C-alpha cells in the first residue's frame, strides 16, 4: 500500500501526479523511448543506468561498478566451468612485435586496419614499432611451438582474461563496438581434430548458458559462413542473438576451430606415439563485455535497465515510505530488518535510506538501474506486518506477509528470471521469418526480420546478396547456419541463387 503514500509524502510532486511528471521534475527519466528512437535510447540508458560513462577518447568507455559486477558474475561462472575442463589461466603480453603479427596472412589481413601501434616511449622513438594485441593468436602461438614437443604435452589448454584493442572507426557503441574491450580468450591445442571439434562445442554450450541461463537472452547456436568465419581459422561457431528493435542480429560469442593453419605458420608440431612428426589442431574462443550491451538492448525498457536477478549486483532494494506523522523510526527499523533477513538468506539486498530524496524519486532511480524487485515499507505495511513488493519487469505489485518474506522473494526472483527469458524469446521468435524466394527475403528484410532461408552455401552468392542489399541500413549477410536444421526437402532451391540449397541459414542485418 506504499505507493499512494509515497506520492503524498513526495512534496515535489503534486498530489496524484503522474510518474512522468515526477521524472521530469527530478531529471531522472529517459528522454528517448525504446520503440521510437532505439539508438538514442540505448546511449541514454547505459549512462543513466550508471553502467557507462563517456570518456574523452572516442570509442573508449568507462565501465562503472554497475556494469563490472555483471561482468564478474559471468566471469565467476565461466572461469569455474573451464577449470573443470582443465583449462588453465595465464597472461600473455599486451604487445606484439610486427614479425609475429604478420606471420599468418589471412589473419593479419582481417585485423591490420584496426591495429594500434606504439611508436614512442617518453620522447624517444622506438626502433621497432610495437602493436597492441587485437587478439592473441600471434602473441601466443610462437610459445605453443616451443612448449609442445611430444604427444604427452597435449592437449595444451590455456585461457586469459584481458583487454584487447581494435581501433575501429565506424560507429562506436558502448559495450557493442568499442576500441578497447574486456574479454576472455581461450587457446587450445590438441593431437586430433576430433578432440578439437568436441571442445569447440563444449565451449559454445557454455556461451549459450551465459546468454540463456544468466542474461536470459535466447540465442541460436550455429556455424558461420566461409565469408564470416574467423580470419585464418578453419570454421567458426557462434551463439547469435537478435535485437528486435533494430532488426539486427548480433554475434554473442564465438568458438573457432583453427584447424592446422596456425600450426603450419607457427610450426606447432609434436611427435605422436609412433614417433611421427604431426601438426596440432587448434581452437580459440572468446566472449566479451559485448554481452552486457546485448543484455541492455534486449531487456531494457522506457524506464531504464531491466536486470535478470542472477546478474544484478542488487537484487532487491528496500525503500522506506515515511508518510507524514508516521513513526519514521519504526519504518526504518522494519527496512533494516528486511535487509538483514534477506541478506542472511543469501540475497543481494540494499536499503535506500537517503533523506534528501523522496520515495518517488528513489522508485525511479532504482527502476532506471534495473533492480529486479523493490520492497516498499510504509505505515500501513507496519500495521499489517507486510511489505509491498514491486517487480521491475512487469510492475506487478504484491503485498507479502513478513513471515513469508524469504520464501516469496525467492519465488519472485526465480519468476522474474524465467519471465525475462520467456518474454525475450517470444519477441525474438516473432521476428523470425522463413522465406524461400528472393522477393520474400527482401520483404522480410524490410520488415527487419531474422530470416531463415535455404542456401546453396556458396561464398560468391553471399557476396552477391550483400551487394544487392547494400544501402543506408547496411547490407544483409549470413548470421549462422543453425545446428538445429529444419527439414530441407529434396529439390529445395537457394533463395538467392536458385541453385540447389544445401542448408537452412539465418540471414539479416547485423551489428
Report the candidate in 358, 370, 300, 336 with the shortest Cα–Cα distance to residue 3.
358
| Residues forming beta bridges with residue 189, ordered by sequence position | 156, 282
Stretch that binds its own copies, among 178-186, 374-382, 430-438, 496-504 (CB under 8 A): 178-186
The smaller minimum CB distance to its own copies, of residues 85 and 488, is found at 85
Number of residues that bind its own copies (CB under 8 A): 55
404 binds its own copies (CB under 8 A): no
Residues 1, 2, 30, 63: which binds its own copies (CB under 8 A)?
A: 63
**Residue 353 touching its own copies (CB under 8 A):** no
Contact flag: residue 88 with its own copies (CB under 8 A): yes
> Contact region for its own copies (CB under 8 A) — 52-60, 252-260, 448-456, 491-499?
52-60
How far apart CA 200 and CA 229 sit, in angstroms, is 14
* Residue of the chain from 115, 268, 339, 424 that contacts its own copies (CB under 8 A): 115
Retrieve residue 157's grid coordinates: 589448454
Point out which span in 20-28, 93-101, 256-264, 498-506 binds its own copies (CB under 8 A).
93-101
For strands 503-510 and 248-259, give the pairing.
parallel
CB of 464 to its own copies, least distance (A): 28
Write down the residue that cell numbers 522506457 correspond to: 302
3-state secondary structure of 231: coil
Task: Tell me which of 33, 106, 113, 447 binds its own copies, using CB under 8 A.
Answer: 113
Convert residues 210-249 into a mask of x (bound to its own copies by CB under 8 A) and - (unbound): ----------------------------------------
- Choice between 118 and 201, CB closer to its own copies: 118
First and final CA of the chain: distance in angstroms? 44
Please state, in angstroms and rounded to a whole number, the distance separating the CA atoms of residues 473 and 25. Answer: 37
Report CA-CA distances (Å) from 472 to 446, 469, 509: 12, 10, 11
Q: What are the distances in angstroms from CA 381 to CA 324, 327, 336, 391?
A: 15, 12, 14, 17
Specify burial of residue 440 (Cβ count, 10 A radius: 0-12, 13-18, 19+).
middle
Query: Cα dihedral sign for 201, 202, 208, 210?
Result: negative
DSSP 8-state symbol, 485: P
Residues numbered 121 to 150 that lie near its own copies (CB under 8 A) are 121-123, 129-130, 132, 142-143, 146-147
Whether omega for the bond prior to residue 401 falls within 30 degrees of 0, making it cis, is: no
Q: Parallel, antiparallel, or unpaired for β 156-165 and 88-89?
A: parallel
What span, in angstroms and rounded, lies between the C-alpha atoms of 387 and 29?
A: 26
117 is a site residue for its own copies (CB under 8 A): yes
462: DSSP letter? H
- Taking Cα atoms as reference points, which of 350, 353, 356 lies closest to residue 329? 353
- 105 part of the interface to its own copies, by CB under 8 A: no
Q: Which stretch binds its own copies (CB under 8 A): 108-116, 423-431, 469-477, 503-511?
A: 108-116
**Which of 84, 91, 274, 484: binder of its own copies (CB under 8 A)?**
91
Nearer to its own copies, 20 or 84 (CB): 84
**Does residue 467 belong to the site contacting its own copies (CB under 8 A)?**
no
Stretch that binds its own copies, among 91-99, 243-251, 315-323, 324-332 (CB under 8 A): 91-99
Return the residue of 4, 180, 333, 337 that touches its own copies, per CB under 8 A. Answer: 180
CA–CA distance, 28 with 275 (Å, rounded to integer) = 70
Distance CA 143, CA 86 (A): 19
As a whole number of angstroms, the distance between CA 20 and CA 49 comes to 17
Q: Which stretch binds its own copies (CB under 8 A): 33-41, 118-126, 372-380, 491-499?
A: 118-126
Q: Can residue 16 be called a binding residue for its own copies (CB under 8 A)?
A: no
Task: Give yes or no for residue 97 binding its own copies (CB under 8 A).
Answer: yes
346 contacts its own copies (rule: CB under 8 A): no
Q: Which stretch binds its own copies (CB under 8 A): 36-44, 119-127, 209-217, 501-509?
A: 119-127
According to CB under 8 A, which one of 14, 33, 120, 264 is a site residue for its own copies?
Answer: 120
**CB crowding 377-408: b at 16 or more within 10 Å, else e:** bbbbbbeeebbbbbbbbeeeeeebebeebeeb
Q: Where are the alpha helices (DSSP H) in 212-289?
A: 261-265
Cβ 12 to its own copies shortest distance, Å: 17
Smaller CB separation from its own copies, 11 or 119: 119
**From candidates 8, 34, 64, 209, binder to its own copies by CB under 8 A:** 64
DSSP run (H or E) holding 179: none
CB of 146 vs its own copies, minimal distance in Å: 8
Query: Which residues here bind its own copies, judged by CB under 8 A?
Result: 53, 55-57, 60-65, 68-69, 72, 88-97, 99-100, 112-123, 129-130, 132, 142-143, 146-147, 152, 158, 162-163, 165, 167, 179-180, 182, 354, 356
Amino acid at each position: 500500500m506504499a505507493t499512494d503514500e509515497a506520492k503524498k509524502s513526495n512534496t515535489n510532486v503534486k498530489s496524484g501526479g503522474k510518474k512522468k511528471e515526477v521524472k521530469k521534475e527530478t531529471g531522472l527519466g529517459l528522454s528517448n523511448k525504446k520503440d521510437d528512437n532505439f539508438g538514442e535510447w540505448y546511449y541514454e540508458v547505459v549512462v543513466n543506468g550508471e553502467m557507462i560513462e563517456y570518456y574523452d577518447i572516442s570509442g573508449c568507455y568507462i565501465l562503472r561498478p554497475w556494469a563490472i559486477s555483471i561482468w564478474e558474475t559471468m566471469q565467476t561462472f565461466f572461469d569455474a566451468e573451464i577449470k573443470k575442463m582443465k583449462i588453465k589461466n595465464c597472461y600473455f603480453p599486451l604487445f606484439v612485435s610486427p614479425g609475429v603479427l604478420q606471420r599468418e596472412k589471412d589473419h593479419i589481413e582481417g585485423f591490420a586496419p584496426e591495429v594500434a601501434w606504439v611508436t614512442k616511449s617518453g620522447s624517444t622513438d622506438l626502433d621497432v614499432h610495437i602493436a597492441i594485441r587485437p587478439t592473441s593468436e600471434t602473441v601466443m602461438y610462437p610459445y605453443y611451438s616451443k612448449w609442445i614437443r611430444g604427444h604427452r604435452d597435449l592437449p595444451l589448454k590455456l585461457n586469459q582474461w584481458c583487454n584487447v584493442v581494435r581501433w575501429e572507426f565506424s560507429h562506436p557503441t558502448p559495450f557493442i563496438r568499442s576500441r578497447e574491450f574486456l574479454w576472455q580468450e581461450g587457446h587450445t591445442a590438441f593431437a586430433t581434430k576430433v578432440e578439437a571439434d568436441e571442445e569447440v562445442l563444449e565451449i559454445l554450450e557454455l556461451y549459450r548458458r551465459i546468454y540463456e541461463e544468466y542474461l536470459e537472452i535466447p540465442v541460436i547456436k550455429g556455424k558461420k559462413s566461409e565469408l564470416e568465419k574467423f580470419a585464418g581459422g578453419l570454421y567458426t561457431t557462434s551463439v547469435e542473438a537478435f535485437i528486435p528493435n533494430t532488426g539486427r542480429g548480433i554475434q554473442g560469442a564465438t568458438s573457432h576451430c583453427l584447424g592446422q593453419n596456425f600450426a603450419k605458420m607457427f610450426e606447432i608440431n609434436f611427435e605422436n606415439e609412433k614417433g611421427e612428426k604431426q601438426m596440432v589442431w587448434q581452437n580459440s574462443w572468446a566472449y566479451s563485455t559485448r554481452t552486457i550491451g546485448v543484455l541492455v538492448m534486449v531487456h531494457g525498457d522506457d524506464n531504464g535497465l531491466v536486470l535478470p536477478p542472477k546478474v544484478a549486483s542488487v537484487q532487491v532494494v528496500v525503500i522506506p515510505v515515511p508518510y507524514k506523522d508516521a513513526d519514521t523510526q519504526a519504518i526504518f527499523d522494519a527496512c533494516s530488518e528486511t535487509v538483514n533477513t534477506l541478506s542472511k538468506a543469501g540475497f543481494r539486498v540494499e536499503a535506500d535510506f537517503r533523506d534528501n530524496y523522496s520515495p518517488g524519486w528513489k522508485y525511479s532511480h532504482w527502476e532506471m538501474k534495473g533492480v529486479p524487485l523493490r520492497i516498499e515499507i510504509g505505515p500501513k505495511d507496519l500495521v499489517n506486518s507486510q511489505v509491498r513488493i514491486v517487480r521491475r519487469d512487469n510492475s506487478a505489485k504484491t503485498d507479502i506477509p513478513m513471515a513469508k518474506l524469504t520464501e516469496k522473494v525467492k519465488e519472485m526472483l526465480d519468476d522474474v528470471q524465467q519471465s525475462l527469458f520467456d518474454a525475450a524469446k517470444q519477441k525474438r521468435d516473432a521476428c523470425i521469418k522463413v522465406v524461400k524466394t528472393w522477393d520474400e527475403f527482401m520483404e522480410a528484410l524490410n520488415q527487419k526480420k531474422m530470416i531463415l532461408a535455404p542456401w546453396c552455401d556458396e561464398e560468391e552468392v553471399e557476396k552477391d546478396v550483400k551487394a544487392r542489399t547494400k544501402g543506408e541500413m547496411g547490407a544483409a549477410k549470413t548470421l549462422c547456419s543453425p545446428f538445429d536444421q529444419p527439414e530441407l526437402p529434396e529439390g529445395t532451391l537457394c533463395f538467392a541463387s536458385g541453385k540447389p540449397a544445401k542448408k537452412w541459414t539465418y540471414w539479416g542485418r547485423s551489428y
